[in-house]
Amino acid sequence: MFWVGVDGGTALPQLAAAIDEQVGKLGLPREERAYNPHLTLARTGSNPGSHDQLRPLSSLLGSEAPPHFGTMTAQEFFLYQSKPQKGGSKYTKLERFALVKS
8-55 pLDDT, tens digit per residue, is 788 888 988 998 999 899 998 888 888 888 887 776 665 544 444 545
Q: How far is CA 24 from the centre of its chain?
A: 20
Distances (CA, A) of 82 to 17, 50, 66, 92: 20, 21, 29, 7
Asked if the structure places residue 79 within a domain, the reply is no
Q: Which domain holds residue 44?
A: 2-71
Q: Specify the pLDDT at position 60.
A: 60
Global confidence as pTM: 0.51
Residue 100: name the closest of 69, 80, 76, 65 by CA: 76
Is residue 9 within 8 Å of residue 37, measured between CB atoms? no
Asked if the structure places residue 89 within a domain, the reply is no
Could you report the per-residue pLDDT of 76-96, keeping only the tens digit for each?
888 899 898 888 889 999 999
Task: Give the whole-angstrom CA distance, residue 5 versus residue 83.
Answer: 24
Stretch (H or E) spanning 97: strand 90-98
If one counts the domains in the chain, the total is: 1
Can you say whether the dihedral through the CA atoms of 80, 83, 87, 92 is positive or negative? negative
pLDDT of residue 66 exceeding 80, the answer is no
Stretch (H or E) spanning 4: strand 2-5
For residues 59 and 35, the model is more confident at 35
pLDDT of residue 3 exceeding 70, the answer is yes
H-assigned helices in the chain: 11-25, 55-61
Asked if the structure places residue 24 within a domain, the reply is yes
Asked if the structure places residue 59 within a domain, the reply is yes
